[in-house]
Structures are given as structure tokens and as C-alpha cells.
Amino acid sequence: MDVQSASIGAYSISSAASTKATSQSRAADGDQIGSTAATATAGTKDTLSLSTLAASLKGPSLDLFNKLKQNERTLLGDLVDSGKVTGDDVNNALMSSLKQARRTSFATGSMMFESRNPGLFARADSVTADEMLKATDNTLARRKELVSRLGELEKNGQGGSDDYSAILSALSGSESGSGRRDMPVNGPPRSTRIVSPYTMNLADPRFLQSGEEEAASNKLKDSGVSLSSFTEAARSMAEEDVMGMVKEQASFLAEIMRRNGG
């Protein structure tokens, strides 16, 4: 079922429910009838607003929209209804935020991989494919655990807690007890052999923000929308996307290492 069909279906159900409620209340006094009618009107307006916007949302942008809080979704629907922004603007801004979250996830994941696996870089010339793959799996598993804990804290209203800050620090590669800070500052030059699957292609469209997406983000920001809420909502989606990319790159790197006897 496409987005427009789902939206039309939602509107039909809402309208049918409003009609039934109105017919059941006809025997009540005038105040009750007025209250029911007002509630039905408000419900229908909300459905129409979100249906108009939903028709413009596609793929990952729609998934990200559904992760936003109710008041954030309502605000976007109202902005589209007012003509201040278009549905395409919202779609492009959401996509822009997801790409930004992917870049952040990839960059911090790279730092985390290095901080957790200093030995791989210290002896890069002798690292085997299996060792690199094991280090990759361990790093990705740790990131998945941390992101899950972040989600739990956010759900419980603990987004500003010390635990929350500590997890964000760990995701950025600054986790307490990591081996990176124990590495000597001075020593022999590090090998140029690549042992990390975190190699970003800046031209990759999954990371690269288009001109339309950048303009849409600025337009929504000027209209009073907090883009940081988009990026926060996109974190778990971005982590899943990047996990798939890193696994793919790790497999490719392992093939090269094995061909070269590693």
C-alpha cells in the first residue's frame, strides 16, 4: 500500500468514527453535542494535515518522520498547511538530517574502532583478515549496545543525565578504559597498511548532502523547526545504516588481506 492510500484510509476511518459518535450523541443535551462536534472537527483537521504532508514523504524520510515526537510531527504538518514550507521541503530536510547522522556515526565509529583496537594499528603489517573482522564485529556490537541504552534513557526522560553523557562520550571513541590513551606518543612510524573498515567515500550519496536538501534544512530552521530533534531521532537509523556499510567494507578488506597472504 502506498503512502497516499494509507493516508486516505486513515482519513476514512477517522470520518466514520466521527459520524458514529455524532449520531449516538443526538439524544444528549446541546452542550454535549457541541463538544462532540468540536472534537470530531479537530481530529479530522489533524488527519488531513498529516495526510497532506505524508503524501510527500518517501522512504527513509517517512521512517524518520514517524520517529519524531507527536508535537514535532504536528508542527511540520501545520507549516505545510500554512504554505510556509512544502512537503518536499520537509522530505529533503529529513533526508539531510539522516545523512548528517550517518556521517557522525561513521566518523565516531572510526575513532571508536581505533581506540578499542590499538594493537591492530601498532602491528598493522602482520594483522590477519580474521583479526580485523573480529575487531569490527566487537566494535559494532558495542555501538549497538550503547545506542540501545541511549534509547532507553531518552524514553525514560533521562536525556540530560550523567549516564547519557557518558554513553555519548563512549560512542565518540572516548570510552573509559580504551587502549588508545595508553599508546606511546613517540615511537616508530605507523604502517600505511589499511586495517580499519571505516573508510568513508565523501562522494557517496548516502552521506553527501544535496543543494536541495541543504536549502530545505535552512528553510525549516528559519521557520522555527529544531533540526537537532531530527538528528537525534535519526541516530538509531543512521547507526543501522552505517553498520551495514562497515560490514560490507570489512568483507571487502578481508578479501584483499587474504589475497595478500594476511
pLDDT digits (tens, 9 = 90+) for 210-241: 999 999 999 999 999 999 899 889 999 999 99
What confidence tens digit (pLDDT) does each residue in 200-218 have? 888 899 999 999 999 999 9
pLDDT of residue 188: 52
Provide DSSP, 93-112: HHHHHHHHHHHHHHHHHHHH
Domain boundaries, the chain: 3-85, 88-259
Helix, strand or coil, per DSSP, at residue 200: coil
pLDDT at 256 over 90: yes
Q: What is the pLDDT of residues 84-120, one digit of tens each?
A: 999 999 999 999 999 999 999 999 999 999 999 999 9
Please report, as a single letter, which amino acid is at residue 260.
N
Q: Give the global pTM.
A: 0.75
CA–CA dist 57, 65 (Å, integer): 8
- Look up residue 188 and give its three cell numbers: 616508530
pLDDT at res. 177: 54
Distance (Å, whole) CA 141 – CA 112: 12
Place of cell 481530529: 43
Q: pLDDT: is 70 or 15 the higher one?
A: 70
> pLDDT tens digits, residue range 4-46?
343 333 333 344 444 444 444 444 444 443 444 334 444 444 4
Average of per-residue pLDDT values in the chain: 81
Report which of residues 48 and 83 the model is more confident about.
83
pLDDT tens string 159-180 = 889 999 999 999 988 775 555 4
Integer Cα distance of 36 and 27 in angstroms: 12
Residue 201: per-residue pLDDT:
87
- What is the pLDDT, as a whole number, of residue 196? 95
Rounded to whole angstroms, how far apart are CA atoms 211 and 175?
36
Average pLDDT score over residue span 244-248: 96
